[in-house]
Structure 1
């Protein structure tokens, strides 16, 4: 059972809007906002499983659905806690320098990042795709069960993003990474023995798109993919979202783009 109890809401079954109003007003309770976030995430998982049953004829045991929602939420809370102070400082600094920049109309921007855990010999790749309006299009948190040097993992994250973009059928993309070494290697003619094979793959993958370019971005403007890369370190398989996203993900994604949108008004 999920570790969140909503006392008094049992009597509101069948009255969704009254139930939802009471739930939202629970922000005044201890850890109320966290409980609401988890509940919304759980409802999203239930809705997703309901769609699987209706459209694909397959579903999961209710206990599995709850466990997955809980595990996902706890892992995200852990990642957020670990990076809270670091994130606050970088966000303040970022506000002085600039913000995430939207691509041209008709383009998709994919921000990528890699995280490493040498002790567990795992790596994680975070990929966040947004359109020219700053709207989330898709996200991927990809665990890797081998851990190499950072520059190679960053290159692998970029290659994975290009594969995902090609499968989505996107024609014009920008790949943005905070690893300047890899971006410089992709854009230049110089080779790097550590990532030469991956660089060749990236150049071949470019042929899948009408237009494909690469750009470097400072870490403070790449925070969402960085969060996803760290999140992937705790996963056993790829977690992706498309079209429909949990509230906590929308919140952290909006933090990257809201200043850019204000500047465009």
Structure 2
């Protein structure tokens, strides 16, 4: 912060949260009284005070890293004008994220994390149980930061695309808020289509944690989270699942393309070639062809439409 102040990017070198000392990365994550208040809640805090690093076990180190990251994340949020989160909210966020990490670790030895397929270092989208559908969501912020693209892709147990939807949203959104907004718009879309009992996936672990939590969400994205929970209940969906980006590439592709476009696009049964290529890398898809005179991608099961 001192360097930014010297360059006149900010007006003061003082810490954004405590306003008591010049801000450095170490101060913001560890020495700031607001950060210390979070770290004090862990059982191994006394080890930090005595510098007993050699006595830390792996789980303690990993949990500490999560909390340090959340302290830095909170610093950025306050710096950009967001309301200060209570200490307990930050700590519980860290605890929930760490529990999700431990859960994923526990499944890694079986070669599977949630509902994606891992073969060596190659991660792919995995089909849902027979007769059911899977919805994947993602968000992408445009390079200028002024608009967000959100993408939703629905596929069946054979890997075929049932439908896809993309929409560009004007305005600045934080990454997590953008991801949550994509889930909200996606489940609203699913409700419009009359789908129920779906498998829902996103590659944002924080969004998964917030939606699947049982307590009222006190974060700034709380309104979106509560709306998602409401719709999930109506669709008889009990939770959403986290998958790595590599298992969410179709929705990621849609979000990235619409972030640079206009309006809303939707496709039934088959999509444009760039989307079908991504889906084709994951498994069997509906056959399609291109009709040159109209610019439409067609199949016996669907059509492409841009609104």
| TM-score, scaled to structure 1 | 0.58
Residues 113-133 of structure 1 deviation map (CA, whole Å, 9 limit, x = unaligned)? 111136251011011110111
- Which of 115, 120, 126 is matched with 2:151 structurally? 126
Deviations 1:193-238, CA, capped at 9 Å, x for gaps = 2210011101110232134531000011111111111101122110
Cα contact 2:163–2:267 (8 A) shared by 1: yes
The corresponding residue for 2:250 is 224
2:230 aligns with one of 194, 204, 221: 204
1:170 paired to 2:170: no
Please give the secondary structure, in 1, of the residue aligned with 2:282. helix
The residue that corresponds to 2:39 in the other structure is none
2: CA distance, partners of 1:189 / 1:172: 20
- The 1-side partners of 2:152 and 2:227 are apart by 18
Task: Output the CA distance in 2 between the equivalents of 1:237 and 1:94.
Answer: 38
RMSD: 2.0
Q: For residues 188 and 167 of structure 1, what CA distance do their matches in structure 2 show? A: 25
Pick aligned residue for 1:102 from 117, 127, 140:
127
CA contact (8 A) 1:114 1:124 kept: yes
Checking the alignment, whether the CA contact within 8 Å between 1:118 and 1:147 is kept in structure 2 is no
* Unaligned stretches of 5+ residues in structure 1: 1-92, 259-265
Matched with 2:209 is 184
Task: Quickly say closer, same or farther: Cα 1:119–1:249, change in 2 above 3 A.
Answer: closer
Higher relative CO (CA 8 A, sep ≥ 6), structure 1 or 2?
Answer: 1
- 1:207–1:177 distance in 2 versus 1, CA, 3 Å: same
Structure 2 match to 1:141: 166
Number of aligned residue pairs: give it: 166
Which one has the bigger helix percentage? 1
Q: Which residue of 1 aligns with 2:264?
A: 238
> Tell me, which stretches of 5 or more residues in structure 2 are unaligned?
1-117, 285-307
Question: Whole-Å Cα distance in 2 between the matches of residues 257 and 184 of structure 1?
Answer: 29
Rg larger in structure: 2
Question: Matched residue of 2:210: which SS?
Answer: helix
